[in-house]
Homo-oligomer: A and B are copies of this chain.
Amino acid sequence: MSTLRNDYFLKALQRQSTPYTPVWIMRQAGRYLPEYRATRQKAGDFLNLCKNPNLATEVTLQPLDRYPLLDASILFSDILTIPDAMGLGLYFELGEGPKFERPLREEADIQKLNIPDVGKDLKYVTDAVSQIKQALQGRVPLIGFSGSPWTLATYMVEGQGGTDFLTIKKMAYSRPDLLHHILKTMTEAVTQYLHAQIEAGVDTIMIFDSWGGALSHQGYLEFSLPYMKVILSNLKMLTQKKIPSIIFTKGGGLWLEDQLTAGSDALGLDWQTDISAAKKRVGNHVVLQGNLDPAILLSKPEAIEKEVKRILDGFGHGSGHIFNLGHGITEHTPPEHVDVMLRKVRDYSQQFHTT
């Protein structure tokens, strides 16, 4: 940490005092930025962009160059690198989310599922981490990440994301043994993957449980949360480095108390979860990260400022809040609206950090 010129994000994760509320943006290197679209065009397609450490480094740094008020960077990569390395045939169709050519549904395929060789099949990711760290020159910390086992499994079984999840839920309730086998395998793979990112130099790790909120409470406690917990506790044994962690179950605002048991340093909040109510519920146990509705950034400066203020007021005084959106920034966001948000966070939050 001594090599970082701005370590407020890491300090906030440890509930140490900072002069203002640090901020970063989920999917901050993304299609709303013209410079990102240019690099992506150069790459040919999205997967090439992810798999080329030079280009991944380039787009990771783009938002930092444009927005000096950002307090963290996040590895540019796809959430589905692991199942891709497992041979499921990841592909992207224009204007649609990721899909798999060979969804994982047959018992025989599930039984022979092998974790990828992270050092070989996912070397492009750790190479990108090393290169980004070097390029950052200590400007801000770098966040590494993975999908949660449940979220990766939904993509793998459904063959795509954001559906009604009927295929994987049918498996969950008809053949829980099969699903748990997938989840255990993914837990091992995610652990190795995040461990490799840590060894390559990331300063924080974040687990995105994008589809955890599609489960019932009971289902979440059986199929998603415990596997994130195992990853975090195994990582603590695997590495001497004290790397803070964040878990984010989108749609999981009802289950914050349960999420405390995962042992992460911070919880992500979607925009449905009122941050003031969330703070009361989790007390001093974890840091909260979030939670502006990304749609607000499509509106107008006064509305953006009002909503930023509302969230900062909602959290109130003291450390333990990292400002962010409640979900990834949308591609339709005018880049200048991001400036409005960042400036308001910086200006308005300082009053909450006086000692």
Tell me the A residues contacting B by CB distance below 8 Å.
164-166, 169-170, 172-174, 213, 215-219, 251, 253-254, 271-274, 277, 293, 295-296, 298-300, 303, 307, 310, 326, 330, 332
The answer to whether A174 and B274 touch across the interface, beta carbons within 8 angstroms, is no
The complex places the Cα of A271 from the Cα of B172 at a distance, in Å, of 15
The reply to whether B217 and A165 contact each other, CB–CB distance below 8 Å, is no
Known interface pairs A216-B293, A274-B217, A330-B164; A300-B254 also in contact (CB < 8 Å)? no
Number of copies: 2
CB within 8 Å for A310 and B218 given contacts A173-B296, A299-B173: yes
Which of B216, B274, B295 has a CB less than 8 Å from the CB of A173? Answer: B295
A218-B310, A274-B217 known; A170+B299 contact, CB < 8 A: yes
* Docked complex Cα distance between A164 and B296 (Å): 12
Decide: A173 and B254 in contact? CB cutoff 8 A: no
Add 7 more A-B contacts to A169-B295, A173-B299, A216-B272 (CB < 8 A): A173-B307, A174-B298, A217-B273, A251-B251, A251-B272, A254-B272, A254-B277
For A303, the chain B residues whose CB sits under 8 A away are 173-174
Are B166 and A216 in contact, with the CB atoms below 8 A?
Answer: no
CA distance A303 to B174 in the complex (A): 7
A251 CB contacts on chain B under 8 angstroms: 251, 272
- Chain B residue nearest in CB terms to A164: B330
Complexed CA–CA distance, A216 and B173 (Å): 31
Contact B216 A169, beta carbon cutoff 8 Å: no
* 10 A–B contacts from the bound complex (CB under 8 Å): A166-B295, A166-B332, A170-B298, A173-B300, A173-B303, A216-B274, A216-B326, A218-B274, A251-B272, A253-B254
